[in-house]
C-alpha cells in the first residue's frame, strides 16, 4: 500500500466525489517536480471524459479508499459514466515517493485542506508546499 487516508480525508473526498460534476472515476495522487525544494504533491480528479487508457496507464496502481490495491480485472471494471466507489490512482514514479504517506484533511483557523505526512521527506520549504527526499 502506498497511501493511507485518515477517516477525515476519506470523508472529505467522498463528500467532494458526491458533489462533483461530471462524476469522476477517481482521484490521482502524484508527486511532480517543482517548488523551492524540488517536489510537490498533486491531487486531481480523473473524469469520465478522459479515456480509460488514460486512467489505467500500464504502470498505474489503483486502490480503494482503504488502501487495498485493486487487481487488473477490478481496474478494468472502472468505466466512464458508471460511477462506483471512489478509487485512488498512483503512477509508478510517484509511488516511490509516496510509500508510507498518510493523507489527512484538517480544518483550522488558517484554512482547510489535505495534509501529507510523508516519512520519506528529508526537508520541506517554509510554505510547506514543496519538499525534498
Domain range list for the chain = 3-128
Residue 129 is given by DSSP the state S
52-64 mean pLDDT: 65
Query: Cα separation of 59 and 52, whole Å?
Result: 14
pLDDT at residue 74 is higher than 80: no
3-128 — its CATH code?
2.60.300.12
pLDDT at residue 36 is higher than 80: no
The pLDDT assigned to 106 comes to 94
81-99 tens-digit pLDDT? 444 678 888 888 888 889 9
pLDDT band at residue 33 under the 50/70/90 scheme: confident
Distances 34 to 30, 42, 121 between C-alpha atoms, Å = 12, 11, 15
Lowest mean pLDDT among 28-32, 63-67, 108-112: 63-67
For the record, the C-alpha cell of 116 comes out as 501529507
Query: Cα separation of 94 and 49, whole Å?
Result: 24
The pLDDT assigned to 53 comes to 46
The pLDDT assigned to 80 comes to 44
- 87 within 8 A of 23, measured Cβ to Cβ: no
This prediction has a pTM of 0.79
Q: Is the dihedral of CA 30, 120, 108, 128 positive or negative?
A: negative
Query: Cα separation of 91 and 112, whole Å?
Result: 26
Amino acid at each position: 500500500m502506498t497511501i493511507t487516508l485518515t477517516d477525515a480525508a476519506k470523508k472529505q473526498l467522498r463528500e467532494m466525489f458526491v458533489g462533483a460534476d461530471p462524476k469522476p472515476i477517481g482521484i490521482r495522487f502524484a508527486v511532480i517536480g517543482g517548488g523551492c525544494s524540488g517536489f510537490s504533491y498533486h491531487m486531481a480528479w480523473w473524469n469520465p471524459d478522459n479515456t480509460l487508457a488514460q486512467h489505467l496507464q500500464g504502470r498505474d496502481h489503483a486502490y480503494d479508499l482503504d488502501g487495498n490495491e485493486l487487481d487488473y480485472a477490478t481496474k478494468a471494471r472502472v468505466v466512464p459514466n458508471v460511477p462506483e466507489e471512489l478509487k485512488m490512482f498512483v503512477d509508478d514514479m510517484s509511488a516511490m515517493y509516496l510509500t508510507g504517506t498518510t493523507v489527512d484533511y484538517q480544518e483550522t483557523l488558517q484554512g482547510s485542506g489535505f495534509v501529507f505526512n510523508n516519512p520519506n521527506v528529508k526537508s520541506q520549504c517554509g510554505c510547506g508546499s514543496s519538499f525534498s527526499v
